[in-house]
A and B are shown apart, each in its own frame.
Chain A
């Protein structure tokens, strides 16, 4: 039973438009969330995080929104660039425990 779900295996977006990647979780004890980006043949790299005491965190073109009542978070990339094409993983942690990762969403940004 997956505690962290990313129901879209892939997403294609035109360059310059907004990319929205979604993540749902089932464990209400999760209190810290991360997004990682992964290019082929490389390890994942940290993108942005959010604590459950906040509902939004922004870093440049990347914004993460957290809706605790819906157990849903999303990553917005505006504007999308071809270099953003990668697999994006959502990860969640409960009270300092190790992360539970989602299966990932492959984002393709088309020029």
Chain B
């Protein structure tokens, strides 16, 4: 069974631009969560989607948004990029809503904002 895939793997943008990241969950998984990882901060929860609906949202500004499609694939969008948005963005999928269902992580998208 294929794992969680994320595209692109690396991205370089400049301040003020916007970016869209994509995540394809494991087949059959309905929940997709997004995390931001920065040095010293660990993984910060962004949001979770389940059956095309946002179930939970972390403490991030409205510039961060996402959506989930009917095939469970998910996209995350960041508008008006800031230098502090440089991070590794991780997507995780699970069969059902975490935490009692194991989350499987993708390799992440490394975003650099110049």
Contact = CB atoms under 8 A, between A and B. Distances in A.
B97 to A, nearest CB: 8
B99 A101 contact: no
B43 A43 contact: no
Interface in A65-111: 89, 91, 93, 96-104
Complex A-B, nearest 4 residue pairs according to Cβ-Cβ distance, in ascending order:
A43-B105, A93-B99, A101-B43, A103-B42
Question: From DSSP, what is the main secondary structure of chain A's interface residues?
Answer: loop
Interface in B42-94: 42-45, 48, 56, 58, 90, 92
Interface of B: 4, 33, 35, 40-45, 48, 56, 58, 90, 92, 97-100, 102-108
Contacts of A6: 42
Interface residues of A, number: 24
B33 A98 contact: yes
Contacts, number: 58
A43 B56 contact: no
A104 B107 contact: no
A103 B90 contact: no
B42 A101 contact: yes
